[in-house]
Amino acid sequence: EAQVTQNPRYLITVTGKKLTVTCSQNMNHEYMSWYRQDPGLGLRQIYYSMNVEVTDKGDVPEGYKVSRKEKRNFPLILESPSPNQTSLYFCASSPESGVALHFGNGTRLTVT
Amino acid sequence: AQSVSQHNHHVILSEAASLELGCNYSYGGTVNLFWYVQYPGQHLQLLLKYFSGDPLVKGIKGFEAEFIKSKFSFNLRKPSVQWSDTAEYFCAVNTNAGKSTFGDGTTLTVKP
């Protein structure tokens, strides 16, 4: 089954404790992207990747890092999380650049 | 910088009513345009997309959208809504490669 898998689904952490949210797709898609969703603000793109070792900033990259060492995985790293990064995060992939076609189920992050 | 504006934050309709949700974007160059739907508790699904060609685009679930370049608009329409269309709808624009910007969303409530 074609899918985008995000882990964990829920995460509660404290300010400053490094964390990684994983994202993996099994469709051999070149394009992957991370978004955060906040009430009243829609989705905002954090980072995207056009292919292995090719990543670029979206609209809200501050405080986040990504890597794309292999095509299937695109982890989101928060080196020093802060409460304003409390949000719902989605990973997506697509065979077409710029199109978020297949979404993961989301990761709800709370930073206290 | 690109931006997307969705004029209606909350729309309430009765079943069988016609729907039109407004979306305007701000960008001077070539754009790709999208509409997504998010049902309660779920991730986003792509309804339709416009890359080029016929400005009237048909998507899934009976939705369509019209790209009017002169008005920088990409409005979503459906002739007759159903209770199951209750959801949040997002317009998005992609201007170059992988960078995407979403609108704030429109919540549609369809009364049975």
pLDDT in tens, A23-70: 999 999 999 999 999 988 889 999 999 999 999 999 999 999 999 999
User: Which residues of chain A neighbour B99 with C-beta distances below 8 Å?
Assistant: 45, 48, 56, 58-59, 98
Locate the chain B residue with the closest alpha carbon to A42.
Answer: B104
Say yes or no for a CB contact (<8 Å) between A40 and B104: yes
Locate the chain A residue with the closest alpha carbon to B34.
Answer: A99
Query: What is the pLDDT, as a whole number, of residue B60?
Result: 94
Question: CB neighbours (10 Å) of residue A105?
Answer: 15
Measured between CB atoms, does B36 come within 8 Å of chain A?
yes
Examine the pLDDT at A89 and tell me if it is beyond 70.
yes
Min distance A56 CA to chain B CA atoms (Å): 8
**How far is it, in rounded angstroms, from Cα B110 to Cα B112?**
6
Across B27-44, average pLDDT: 90
Average pLDDT over chain B reads 93
Alpha helices by DSSP H, listed for chain A, are: none
CA A17 to chain centre: 18
Query: What is the pLDDT, as a whole number, of residue A40?
Result: 86
DSSP state of A73: B
Query: What is the pLDDT, as a whole number, of residue B30?
Result: 83
Average pLDDT over chain A reads 95
Say yes or no for a CB contact (<8 Å) between A33 and B100: yes
Query: What is the pLDDT, as a whole number, of residue A98?
Result: 77
Query: What is the pLDDT, as a whole number, of residue B11?
Result: 97
- Interface residue ranges in chain A relative to chain B, Cβ cutoff 8 Å: 31, 33, 35, 40-45, 48-50, 56, 58-59, 90, 92, 97-101, 103-106
**How far is it, in rounded angstroms, from Cα A57 to Cα A108?**
21
pLDDT above 70 coverage of chain B, percent? 99
Indicate which of A4, A6, A32, A59 best probes the interface with B, i.e. most B CBs within 10 Å of its own CB: A59
Across A85-100, average pLDDT: 90
Across B36-42, average pLDDT: 93
Query: What is the pLDDT, as a whole number, of residue B99?
Result: 87
Query: What is the pLDDT, as a whole number, of residue B105?
Result: 95
Say yes or no for a CB contact (<8 Å) between B102 and A31: no
Query: What is the pLDDT, as a whole number, of residue B96?
Result: 67
Query: What is the pLDDT, as a whole number, of residue A72?
Result: 97
DSSP state of A40: T
The secondary structure of chain A in percent helix, strand, coil, rounded to multiples of 5, reads 5, 50, 45
Indicate which of A34, A46, A97, A107 best probes the interface with B, i.e. most B CBs within 10 Å of its own CB: A97
Query: What is the pLDDT, as a whole number, of residue B28?
Result: 76
Residue B61, helix vs strand vs coil: helix
**How far is it, in rounded angstroms, from Cα B65 to Cα B77?**
6
**How far is it, in rounded angstroms, from Cα B36 to Cα B94?**
13
**How far is it, in rounded angstroms, from Cα B94 to Cα B32?**
5
Q: In DSSP terms, which residues pair with B33 in a beta bridge?
A: B50, B93
Across B80-93, average pLDDT: 96
